[in-house]
Structure 1
Amino acid sequence: MGLANATVAVLGVGIAADVFSLWAGGGVFGVVSDVIDGDYGAVTEDRLDRADTLYGVSGILQGAAMLGAVVLFLCWFHRVRANADVFAPDGHRKTRGWAIGGWFVPIANLWIPRRIAVDIWDASSGNRWLPGAGQETKRRTLLNAWWTLWLTTGIFGQIASRQYRAAEEPEKVKQAVVSLMASDLVNIAAAIVAMLFVRRLTAMQDALARSGWGPRD
């Protein structure tokens, strides 16, 4: 359970970084809005520098939190894949190495990790050993929500970041900041669902392990 708890914790840190980014983005939005409205008296150099600095810091914090989350999540994902081998040795379409490598294959990483996650989920549902547990195999709502939000936040984040880097006029900057703030909200939702996914899958494996089948996370 320790690795799962650490993964959940670092995802929580990522949420905090996203909340800070939302607050910092609000500051940039306010400055740019004043510029667009022609209220130049409210846009002092100190205010402009502070807003820009805070937004830059928020980006660094988000990047650091993301790196930590990726490392721990991949370690956890590989662990639950290894556990699932014990629960259902013949129930996997990919070898253990793909639990990490599959995330780094261009294009194919849009579906390979989910395929692996489905096999892990089904193997960990306990439908072979625990009476009534087979319903988890059919109910993959949480897994699908996690994967959908993961893809959404990645695509949306890339689009918003490019929009912000390309923005030069105040109106374009304002629109880009709105996009980035929306991306932060999606990131938060994705992190929350990822936390639930980690906890649910770990609990499923723990219940199966306690019944006498395989190792515990």
Structure 2
Amino acid sequence: MLCTRCRIRTAVTDDGLCTFCSGTRPPLPDGLMAPVPGPGGWGVGTWPRSPVGLARAVTALLGVVIAADLFAIVTGLRVRALWDRLATDEAVDVFGPDGASAERLYLLSGNVQNLANLVTAVVFIIWFHRTRRNAEVFDPSVQRMGPGWAVGGWFVPVANFWFPYRVASGVWEASAQTRPDGGWRTLPRTPLNLWWGAWIAAVLAARVTGRLWERAEEPAEIVRAAGLVAASDAVDIVAAVLAVLYVRAVTGMQVERALHGRAPDGPAPAPVPGAHR
């Protein structure tokens, strides 16, 4: 019977989970733990921990982020339409009931966005840190930065545009899936590169359009700023979709990597009982 959580490995516990998803720690197959630790090897376990549950949580929260962005786009375009009418017809009262309702919804959408982004960021960083610790088990020799940077790298000004990518790059390389014969298979980093590029674009767009919105005073300026903010939210949606693809790709690779359990030059692991059922 397959694991009820990852649907890949054989279930070994009474509740239908495999050793990877249940946290059970049987002896490691020969060659899984490389002898030389990579950067920050201190405190890293000798067995990978399943990222599946966290990946599901991150995916669900990214869906909430997308929904919040769509809500913000709709309410923002409504506000933009009201101010656009004022720019062409001064008789329009944007401070009337319709205008007040539009402003309240737009403010609410911004608060929803902030809350969704905050919660998603916390869970994503936890997942990111776990995949980095797993990468230390898979192949520490390709890690460029220690596990602590999987968390701290996001909070270093300016460097946070580069440090997390270096961590993610090492994770991607260490988590590369193996062929059925145990050899390495090179996987394009397209999901990683697309997600990172879109995330950078979304962050920069949000900062620029946020400042334009705060400085807008005249109706024409508000119309222009509201349109740009909506476009920025659309970029954030693209980044969230690509983040889902990236999370799924890394999680799938790590589950597959743990299943094969072999270091680049190490001996082949012992067969997993029932793995081909």
Residue 209 of structure 1 pairs with residue 253 of structure 2:
no
Using the alignment, how far apart are the partners of 2:247 and 2:216 within structure 1? 37
CA drift of 1:42 comes to 6.6
Match of residue 26, structure 1, among 70, 77, 80: 77
Match of residue 247, structure 2, among 178, 198, 208: 198
Matches within 5 A, 1:1-217: 1-38=52-89, 40-41=91-92, 43=94, 45-126=96-177, 131=182, 133-136=184-187, 139-212=188-261
CA drift of 1:33 comes to 1.0
Contact 2:65 2:240 in 1 (8 A): yes
Q: Rg: which structure is higher?
A: 2
Equivalent residue pairs, number: 212
CA drift of 1:77 comes to 0.2
Using the alignment, how far apart are the partners of 2:95 and 2:124 within structure 1? 43
The residue aligned with 2:26 is: none
TM-score norm. by structure 1 comes to 0.93
TM-score norm. by structure 2 comes to 0.73
CA drift of 1:209 comes to 1.0
Using the alignment, how far apart are the partners of 1:169 and 1:46 within structure 2? 20
Could you give the per-residue CA deviations for residues 55-101 of structure 1, whole angstroms, max 9, x where no partner exists?
10000000000001100110000000011111102221111101100
Which of the two has greater helix per residue? 1
Counterpart amino acid of 2:115?
A
Could you give the per-residue CA deviations for residues 25-45 of structure 1, whole angstroms, max 9, x where no partner exists?
111011001101116357460
Contact 1:160 1:180 in 2 (8 A): yes
Counterpart amino acid of 1:181?
A
**Further displaced range: 173-182 or 40-49:** 40-49
Unaligned runs of 5+ in 1: none
Flag the 1:128–1:114 CA change in 2: closer, same or farther, 3 A: farther
- Root-mean-square deviation (CA), in Å? 1.8
Unaligned runs of 5+ in 2: 1-51, 264-277
Using the alignment, how far apart are the partners of 2:111 and 2:184 within structure 1? 43
CA drift of 1:128 comes to 9.0
Contact 1:128 1:134 in 2 (8 A): yes
Flag the 1:189–1:133 CA change in 2: closer, same or farther, 3 A: farther
Contact 2:72 2:110 in 1 (8 A): yes
Contact 1:28 1:52 in 2 (8 A): yes
CA drift of 1:131 comes to 4.7
Structure 1 runs (4+) greater than 6 angstroms displaced: none
